Amino acid sequence: MKQEKSGVWQSWNENISYKYKSLYKITSEDELQQIIKKSEKIRFFGTKQSSADIASGTETLVDITTYNKILSYNDSERTITVQSGLILGDLLEAIEAKGWCIPCLPDINTITIGGALATGTHGTSGKLLCEYMTECSLVLADGTVKKINEEDELTDAVRVSLGVLGVMSEITFKCESLYTLHIKEGPEDDSEWLPKIKERLKQHDFLRILWLPHTDKGYVITGDKIDSNTEIIEDLGPKYLKHRRKASKILYKYTHIFPWITAIANKLLYRGFFSATKEHKGSLYQATVTKSRGSTLELAEWTIGLDTFPKVFEELKTEINKWSNKSFIHIPMDIRFVYKDKSWLSYAYGKDTVTMGCVSRNAATADTYEAFKSIENIFLKYGGKPHWGKRFVAKDAELSKIYYKWQDFKLLRKKLDPTNKFLNPYLTKLFNEKTNN
Ligand SMILES: Cc1cc2nc3c(=O)[nH]c(=O)nc-3n(C[C@H](O)[C@H](O)[C@H](O)COP(=O)(O)OP(=O)(O)OC[C@H]3O[C@@H](n4cnc5c(N)ncnc54)[C@H](O)[C@@H]3O)c2cc1C
């Protein structure tokens, strides 16, 4: 095992940094156990792509990206077992080669499996990624390993657990047969796509809406399962569309000084990049997951029950369109759909849910981005839940009202980690623990 003495840890967009005393790069569960056992305070991180301050902030850190092997396949069960530092894209390439898939994927492939599971990472028209996990081993605060399968009473607590119950070590996913999607994309007025959500969720295997604030438009992406041999006349629109993110970056360059420029920029971006229709086919991974982004950004995301979404959407739209409100929002706000589950800290606990992303293309000036505050205020008012890996300010007082199992989770956390070994300063406040870090 490699150890680096003292240095500075920085999140991918450089918005969070901490000094550390020891950083370990591990390659086995045994090494992970040893370090956890001997450390008083410890955090572990994947590719550092969370905007929430959850991955570092302790003197001892573990980089799990070197713990990244595919351990085994079970062909008859269609399962794959991997180490938690494996990059999601590597897992997806490996299962596609077997003719398998995971049927709900986030729009990023560079994250680690451990990071993705811990924060409740999700895609659309399916369940959180962690819901496809059937077994895992968890390294507990005392360094022992607990094996957890679907029958275990801890499963519903562990699936989304922010890395505060233990470190997920070996993970088994249950896969499905690979399928091909026929994807159609195009713009629609808000008055058209909003009332059609439920109907489209029934009609299509994939639904995602990129809302374009300050334009009254959404860009609707649907996908239908087809036979892989079905001929589709591919239309990916003009070649320049691939420069959308670069164009956004330029147009938004001064929006932290003059936020109202955003409204003009969005209209230009709509005309240039979202007014054409597209049609193509491919696997869920190949046809819908972004493989490269070019520059960093800062993210927030809020979730709300499917039935409450139209009301929250209208209120948000009215609020951000007021010229007295400085919350001009960069394109797009990503609207996705997650089906109900039983995981205690899941956004979709007991309820079909809509998720709504909020992006600042200027990561460095994210603190001045008023939109993050407006979206949090409005979603919280209706019992909305924040994405654990993204930016939000709500803490224990608010979270205890919106998570039915919050107190149970806190009690379990305290039982499994009585000395708060896995809490950094941010998580200490989040759970309203009294200890100093
Ligand atoms: C451009 C971009 C696009 C994104 N798209 C989506 C999306 O489509 N859907 C979505 O839901 N989210 C999305 N996210 C959020 C992202 O999936 C999460 O922030 C994820 O946690 C990042 O993974 P990571 O490997 O960088 O984890 P890190 O940020 O390094 O760590 C996240 C948390 O996981 C913990 N952790 C890491 N490994 C383990 C482990 N083995 N066991 C237990 N805990 C562990 C860490 O301690 C930390 O608390 C996106 C983020 C970005 C930057």
Are residues 106 and 204 both part of a single domain? Answer: no
Check if 55 has its Cβ closer than 6 Å to any atom of ligand 1. Answer: yes
Are residues 305 and 368 both part of a single domain? Answer: yes
Are residues 338 and 353 both part of a single domain? Answer: yes
Are residues 101 and 162 both part of a single domain? Answer: yes
Distance 65 CA to ligand 1 centre (A): 12
Distance 279 CA to ligand 1 centre (A): 30
Is the residue at 304 inside a domain? yes
Residues of the chain with pLDDT > 90, as a percent, come to: 93
Check if 336 has its Cβ closer than 6 Å to any atom of ligand 1. Answer: no
**Residues 58-91: b if buried by 16+ CB within 10 A, e if exposed:** bbbbbbbbbbbeeeeeeeeebbbbbbbbbbbebb
What pLDDT sits at residue 435?
Answer: 63
- Beta strand 385-386 pairing with 79-83: unpaired
Check if 49 has its Cβ closer than 6 Å to any atom of ligand 1. Answer: yes
Is the residue at 8 inside a domain? no
Q: Is the pLDDT of residue 250 over 50?
A: yes
Q: What confidence tens digit (pLDDT) does each residue in 294-312 have?
A: 789 999 999 999 999 999 9
Are residues 246 and 365 both part of a single domain? Answer: yes
Are residues 132 and 255 both part of a single domain? Answer: no
The domain that holds 94 is classified in CATH as 3.30.465.10
The domain that holds 338 is classified in CATH as 3.40.462.10
Phi, psi of 218 (to 5 degrees): -125, 160
Check if 64 has its Cβ closer than 6 Å to any atom of ligand 1. Answer: yes
What does the block give as tokens for 37? 């056992």
**Full domain range(s) for residue 276:** 180-282+297-392
Residue with CA closest to ligand 1 atom 31: 115
Closest CA to 164 of 360, 416, 371: 416
Are residues 234 and 199 both part of a single domain? Answer: yes
HSE-CB at 73 with a 13 A cutoff on CA atoms is: 12
275 burial type by CB count under 10 A (0-12 exposed, 13-18 middle, 19+ buried): middle
Residue with CA closest to ligand 1 atom 14: 121
Is the residue at 110 inside a domain? yes
Is the residue at 433 inside a domain? no
**How many domains does the chain contain in total?**
2
Is the residue at 288 inside a domain? no
Q: What confidence tens digit (pLDDT) does each residue in 319-350 have?
A: 999 888 889 999 999 999 999 999 999 999 99
Cis peptide preceding 332, ω within 30 of 0: yes
Residue finishing a domain among 374, 392, 410: 392
Check if 58 has its Cβ closer than 6 Å to any atom of ligand 1. Answer: no
Distance 348 CA to ligand 1 centre (A): 18
CA–CA gap between residue 152 and residue 415 (Å, rounded): 17
Are residues 162 and 206 both part of a single domain? Answer: no
Distance 124 CA to ligand 1 centre (A): 17
Number of H helices, E strands in the chain: 14, 19
Q: Is the pLDDT of residue 437 over 70?
A: no
Are residues 204 and 119 both part of a single domain? Answer: no
DSSP state of 126: B
Residue with CA closest to ligand 1 atom 21: 115
Question: Best mutation site among 9, 17, 27, 44 for ligand 1, i.e. most ligand atoms within 8 A of its Cβ?
Answer: 44
Distance 112 CA to ligand 1 centre (A): 7
Q: Is the pLDDT of residue 239 over 90?
A: no
Is the residue at 325 inside a domain? yes
Are residues 168 and 192 both part of a single domain? Answer: no
Atom of ligand 1 at shortest range from CA of 105: 8
Residue finishing a domain among 177, 208, 233: 177
């696997």: which residue's tokens?
283
Check if 182 has its Cβ closer than 6 Å to any atom of ligand 1. Answer: no
Q: Is the pLDDT of residue 403 over 50?
A: yes
């070996």: which residue's tokens?
170
Residues of the chain with pLDDT > 70, as a percent, come to: 99
Check if 116 has its Cβ closer than 6 Å to any atom of ligand 1. Answer: yes
Residue with CA closest to ligand 1 atom 50: 108
């029950």: which residue's tokens?
305
Q: Whole-number mean pLDDT of the chain?
A: 96
Rounded to the nearest angstrom, the gap between the alpha carbon of residue 219 and the centroid of all alpha carbons in its chain is 20
Q: Is 420 left (phi over 0), alpha (psi -120 to 50) or beta?
A: left
Is the residue at 48 inside a domain? no
Check if 44 has its Cβ closer than 6 Å to any atom of ligand 1. Answer: yes
Residue finishing a domain among 130, 157, 177: 177
Q: Fill in the amino acid letter for 411.
A: L
CA–CA gap between residue 105 and residue 96 (Å, rounded): 13
Is the residue at 341 inside a domain? yes
Which whole number is the average pLDDT over 134-157?
97
Residue 273 CB contacts under 8 Å (≥ 6 apart), including other chains: 241, 244, 247
Distance 425 CA to ligand 1 centre (A): 18
Phi, psi of 287 (to 5 degrees): -95, -15
Are residues 311 and 251 both part of a single domain? Answer: yes
CA–CA gap between residue 39 and residue 16 (Å, rounded): 23
Which segments of 89-216 are extended strands (E)? 100-101, 133-139, 145-149, 167-174, 176-177, 180-189, 206-212
What pLDDT sits at residue 165?
Answer: 98
Are residues 332 and 388 both part of a single domain? Answer: yes
What does the block give as tokens for 281? 């086919």
Check if 109 has its Cβ closer than 6 Å to any atom of ligand 1. Answer: no
Which whole number is the average pLDDT over 361-367?
94
Q: Is the pLDDT of residue 423 over 80?
A: yes
Contact between 376 and 392 under an 8 Å Cβ cutoff? The reply is yes
